[in-house]
């Protein structure tokens, strides 16, 4: 009984914080506490969201950003878990030697690595996926290494006494025993995905929530910045809740772990997916990846042809002036600005390579 | 003295021959600097087929180390172990182990845990189910097949571990303080159950314990180990009638004498140089009961 009241109380408290925040957001610009130019009231942002939803572009941005986020996370997982097994179990010396280096890499501000990514992967879809995969890779890798090394030695001993092969030991004992800890790393990695989506979609994107934020900023459409940012926050929150729910379902006997890995955990699953539900989940993800990939492809395609038209016909005249960065010629803006990559002032494109090109 | 003959002269080829096992650990980090630590020295023991032998000894005398060597999980520095005349070179499905910490796979149900060894043995699914059902029944866990380990009591977990070790039909069961973690009452129940299972399955069992009472209650013979280095002090035959389960044999005078004899052996450990090479006559060990 008390429990129930307590839960209701906790929920009220938690959500009342959000409500107060939204009220303040609405009131502050209206009362002149904040400059409405930079912080438009919540209702104005809602208006912008409504506008975006009405013409269907919001759905498109959502699908495209989720596609990039999920793909990046999948790539990170597929690289980090085998790498974690390899470093944690097969190459302990390498792991010890590489450890400081990997720590440094994982600490490097991913934004400052953008030029390197561009150098290696250009500004296409690959670069965006790589940027996202890069940030989520590290927690998954480190948690995997810790997990595979801390499997209960009694379990290993029991399995080994059966003359089990190494492959079976990995698949049937070490992987399932480490899964609860690996999953925590996965959840932390997933938390960084939407954090990086703005950066990723700065790289020559033409759709997606990150692009929406970025493009709106370039065009001084402040309410749309907040609209995009709101959805990025919501997506991040939902993904976290989803993964937490999965974690509880699989490893329910465990307490919620935020970022500490105890040496040994009493993993106690209440439910493990059978082959059928795992296959069902995999096919849902697969279908989404296909559908989202198609959306991304179409969007890239449409933009390529649209860009051509804009340049030659509709925007002919004074609007034809474009600004570009002398260091990063693929950065093109319709208004004077600084380069998002290096911070240099953009120069008129017609003054630079543009004239020669046409 | 009539009980002497059957224990001294084996009437058949021994199932397990442990010959002059030595095991040394190289200690790198210690206050005394790096040195070699002799965990086991010249351990020799023969176990008959279907026999129940208990190993007792103080903590750290090398009981688990010896069991690891028997399981093929560790190699001795000297000596060898033979099972059915064949030298042990690694782990195999002819030996099953049961450890103190249950070591159940937490992501597997009771049935899936019991079937683990069968999966490794590549037994077909239908047959696996049949076998696991039989062994779950044998350890008295019918109705708990789909529970996860965290939903079981300590005693139930240990039953699952026993069923898992028996399911792939090893001829030898190696048990390392399997009942040390459960409460006294559950412990006695499990001991009764183990004797019943042993009589039904006729496995050869080597059972490590630090409880003298447990060793005397369960075993045909008790090997008393001493520490630093780990050696077999004496092998004490237990001449108590069977079946012992569900009886008040624990309160019989014979039981008390035997227990006291082993207790004395463990208390008055002779200095190391006296021990070497000397094997006391078994008659000494059982004199109180023989005098009856
Ligand atoms: N891997 C190891 N490295 C170093 N010393 C060990 C190792 N394993 C066991 N020992 C030592 O060998 C002795 C016997 O250990 P163990 O077989 O576990 O004893 P018991 O099971 O009888 O309590 C102990 O003193 C222990 O510290
Ligand atoms: Mg031990």
CATH classification of the domain holding B281: 3.40.50.300
pTM metric for this prediction: 0.77
- Say if A91 falls within a structural domain: yes
DSSP state of B105: -
Q: Same structural domain for residues A221 and A311?
A: no
Total domains, chain A: 3
Ligand 1 close to Cβ of residue B251 (< 6 A): no
The CATH number of whichever domain residue A202 belongs to comes to 1.10.3720.10
Q: Same structural domain for residues A46 and A98?
A: no
Ligand 1 close to Cβ of residue B63 (< 6 A): yes
Q: How far apart are CA B1 and CA B279, in angstroms?
A: 19
- Say if B197 falls within a structural domain: no
Protein residue whose Cα sits closest to atom 14 of ligand 1: B62
Domain that holds residue A249: 58-258
Q: Same structural domain for residues B123 and B56?
A: no
Helices A92-107 and A125-149: angle between axes, nearest 10 degrees: 130
pLDDT on residue B84:
92
Q: How far apart are CA A205 and CA A74, in angstroms?
A: 20
Nearest to A158 among B92, B97, B150 (CB): B97
Q: How far apart are CA A127 and CA B288, in angstroms?
A: 85
Q: Same structural domain for residues A101 and A183?
A: yes
Q: Same structural domain for residues A236 and A300?
A: no
Strand pairing report for B78-83 and B16-27: antiparallel
- Give the mean pLDDT of chain B: 86
pLDDT band at B276 (very low <50, low <70, confident <90, very high): very low
Q: Same structural domain for residues A65 and A50?
A: no
Q: Same structural domain for residues B223 and B84?
A: yes
Beta bridge partners of B26: B36
DSSP state of B108: S
- Say if A268 falls within a structural domain: no
- Say if B198 falls within a structural domain: no
Q: What is the tens place of the pLDDT at every residue in B6-41?
A: 444 455 789 999 999 999 999 888 888 888 899 999
pLDDT on residue A287:
87
Q: How far apart are CA A197 and CA A66, in angstroms?
A: 9
pLDDT on residue B3:
46
Q: Same structural domain for residues B40 and B149?
A: no
Ligand 1 close to Cβ of residue B100 (< 6 A): no
- Say if B119 falls within a structural domain: yes
Q: Same structural domain for residues B40 and B175?
A: yes
Tokens representing residue A94 in the block: 């390498």
Tokens representing residue B244 in the block: 């012992």
pLDDT of B224 strictly over 90: yes
pLDDT of B144 strictly over 50: yes
Q: Same structural domain for residues B20 and B85?
A: yes
Chain A contact set for B71 (CB, 8 A)? 161
Strand pairing report for B204-209 and B172-176: parallel
DSSP letters for A205-262: -SSSHHHHHHHHHHTT-HHHHHHHHHHHHHHHHHHHHHHHHHHHHHSTTSPP-SS---
Is A157 in contact with B91 (Cβ distance < 8 A)?
A: no
Phi, psi of B39 (to 5 degrees): -85, -40
Q: Same structural domain for residues A79 and A153?
A: yes
Going by C-alpha positions, the residue among B163, B173, B32, B49 that lies closest to residue B108 is B163
Query: How large is the average pLDDT for residues B81-90?
Result: 93
Averages of pLDDT over each 10 residues, chain A, 358 residues:
74 83 87 82 88 87 90 94 93 86 83 82 84 92 93 93 92 92 91 84 82 86 88 88 84 46 44 73 86 84 59 44 74 73 68 43
- Say if A63 falls within a structural domain: yes
Tokens representing residue B53 in the block: 């032998």
- The answer to whether residues A249 and A71 touch, using CB atoms and an 8 Å cutoff, is no
Q: Same structural domain for residues B130 and B267?
A: no
Q: Same structural domain for residues A196 and A82?
A: yes
- The answer to whether residues A212 and A227 touch, using CB atoms and an 8 Å cutoff, is yes
Instruction: Using a CB–CB cutoff of 8 Å, tell me whether B73 touches chain A.
Output: yes
- Say if A263 falls within a structural domain: no
The bound ligand whose nearest atom lies closest to the alpha carbon of B55 is 1
Q: How far apart are CA A32 and CA B282, in angstroms?
A: 100
Q: Same structural domain for residues A204 and A67?
A: yes
Q: What is the tens place of the pLDDT at every residue in B56-70?
A: 999 889 999 999 999
Is B168 in contact with A176 (Cβ distance < 8 A)?
A: no
- Say if B196 falls within a structural domain: no
- Say if B186 falls within a structural domain: no
Q: Same structural domain for residues A231 and A354?
A: no
Q: Same structural domain for residues A105 and A246?
A: yes
Q: Of A229, A258, A287, which closes a domain?
A: A258
- Say if A34 falls within a structural domain: no
Q: Same structural domain for residues B64 and B21?
A: yes
Q: Same structural domain for residues B243 and B269?
A: yes
Q: Same structural domain for residues B124 and B15?
A: no
Q: Same structural domain for residues A107 and A201?
A: yes
Q: Residue B67 C-alpha to ligand 2 middle, in angstroms?
A: 9
- Say if A216 falls within a structural domain: yes
pLDDT band at B191 (very low <50, low <70, confident <90, very high): very high
- Say if B195 falls within a structural domain: no
Domain that holds residue B271: 2-90+171-180+203-290
Q: Would you say the C-alpha torsion A210, A214, A219, A224 has a positive or negative sign?
A: positive
pLDDT of B268 strictly over 80: no
A 10 A CB-CB count for A50 gives 11
Total domains, chain B: 2
Q: What is the tens place of the pLDDT at every residue in B98-121?
A: 988 889 999 899 999 999 999 999
Q: Same structural domain for residues B176 and B237?
A: yes
Residue with tokens 């690694």: B90
- Say if B46 falls within a structural domain: yes
Nearest to B73 among A161, A177, A266 (CB): A161
Q: Same structural domain for residues B69 and B113?
A: no
ipTM: 0.82
User: What residues 117-176 of chain B have any CB closer than 8 A to a CB of chain A?
Assistant: 117, 119-121, 148-150, 168
- Say if A162 falls within a structural domain: yes
Q: Same structural domain for residues B132 and B248?
A: no
Query: How large is the average pLDDT for residues B207-229?
Result: 93
- Say if A146 falls within a structural domain: yes
Q: Same structural domain for residues A161 and A44?
A: no
pLDDT on residue B269:
62
Percent of chain B's residues with pLDDT above 70 = 88
pLDDT on residue B267:
86
pLDDT on residue A85:
94
For a pocket test of ligand 1, which of B59, B62, B180, B210 has the largest count of ligand atoms closer than 8 A to its C-beta? B62
Going by C-alpha positions, the residue among A156, A141, A62 that lies closest to residue A99 is A141
């Amino acid at each position: 009984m008390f429990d129930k009241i307590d839960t209701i109380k906790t929920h009220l408290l938690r959500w009342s914080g959000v409500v107060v925040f939204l009220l303040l957001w609405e009131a502050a610009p209206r009362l002149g506490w904040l400059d409405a130019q930079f912080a438009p009231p919540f209702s104005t942002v809602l208006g912008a969201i409504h506008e975006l939803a009405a013409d269907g572009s919001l759905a498109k941005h959502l699908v495209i950003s989720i596609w990039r986020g999920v793909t990046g996370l999948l790539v990170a997982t597929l690289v980090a878990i085998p790498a974690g097994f390899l470093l944690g179990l097969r190459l302990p010396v390498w792991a010890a030697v590489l450890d400081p280096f990997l720590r440094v890499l994982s600490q490097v501000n991913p934004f400052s690595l953008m030029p390197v990514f561009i150098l290696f992967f250009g500004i296409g879809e690959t670069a965006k996926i790589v940027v996202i995969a890069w940030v989520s890779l590290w927690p998954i890798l480190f948690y995997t290494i810790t997990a595979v090394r801390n499997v209960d030695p009694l379990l290993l001993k029991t399995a080994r006494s059966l003359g089990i092969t190494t492959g079976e030991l990995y698949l049937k004992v070490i992987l399932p025993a480490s899964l609860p800890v690996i999953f925590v790393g996965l959840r932390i990695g997933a938390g960084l995905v939407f954090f990086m989506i703005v950066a990723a979609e700065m790289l020559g994107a033409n759709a997606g929530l990150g692009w929406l934020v970025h493009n709106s900023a370039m065009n001084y459409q402040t309410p749309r910045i907040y609209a995009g940012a709101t959805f990025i926050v919501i997506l991040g929150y939902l993904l976290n809740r989803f993964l937490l729910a999965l974690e509880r379902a699989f490893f329910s006997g465990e307490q919620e772990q935020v970022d500490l890995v105890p040496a040994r955990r009493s993993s106690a699953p209440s439910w493990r997916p059978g082959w059928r539900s795992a296959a069902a989940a995999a096919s849902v993800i697969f279908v989404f990846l296909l559908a989202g990939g198609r959306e991304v492809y179409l969007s890239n395609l449409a933009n390529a042809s649209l860009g051509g038209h804009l340049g030659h016909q509709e925007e002919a005249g004074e609007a034809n002036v474009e600004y570009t960065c002398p260091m990063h010629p693929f950065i093109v803006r319709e208004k004077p600005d600084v380069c998002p990559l290096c911070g240099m002032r953009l120069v008129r494109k017609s003054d630079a390579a543009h004239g020669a090109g046409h | 003295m009539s009980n002497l003959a059957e224990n001294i002269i084996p009437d058949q080829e021994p199932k397990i021959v442990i010959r002059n096992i030595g095991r040394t650990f190289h200690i790198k980090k210690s206050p005394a600097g790096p040195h070699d630590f002799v965990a086991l020295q010249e351990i020799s023991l023969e176990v008959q087929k279907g026999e129940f032998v208990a190993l007792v000894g103080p903590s750290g005398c090398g009981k688990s180390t010896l069991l690891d060597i028997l399981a093929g999980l560790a190699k001795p520095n000297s000596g060898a172990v033979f099972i059915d005349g064949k030298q042990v070179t690694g782990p195999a499905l002819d030996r099953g182990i049961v450890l103190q910490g249950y070591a159940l796979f937490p992501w597997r149900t009771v049935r899936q845990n019991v079937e683990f060894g069968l999966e490794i043995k590549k037994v077909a699914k239908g047959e696996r189910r049949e076998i696991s059902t039989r062994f779950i029944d044998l350890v008295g866990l019918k109705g708990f097949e789909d529970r996860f380990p965290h939903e079981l009591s300590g005693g139930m977990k240990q039953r699952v571990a026993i069923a898992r070790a028996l399911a792939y039909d090893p001829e030898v069961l190696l048990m390392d303080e399997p009942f040390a973690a459960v409460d006294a009452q559950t412990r006695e129940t499990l001991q009764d159950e183990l004797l019943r299972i042993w009589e039904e399955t006729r496995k050869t069992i080597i059972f490590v314990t630090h409880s003298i009472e447990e060793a005397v209650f369960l075993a045909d013979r008790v090997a008393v180990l001493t520490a630093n280095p780990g050696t077999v002090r004496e092998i004490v035959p237990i001449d108590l009638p069977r079946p012992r389960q569900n009886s008040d044999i624990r309160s019989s005078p014979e039981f008390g004498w035997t227990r006291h004899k082993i207790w004395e052996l463990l208390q008055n450990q002779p200095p190391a140089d006296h021990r070497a090479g000397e094997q006391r006559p078994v008659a000494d060990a059982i004199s109180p009961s023989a005098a009856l």
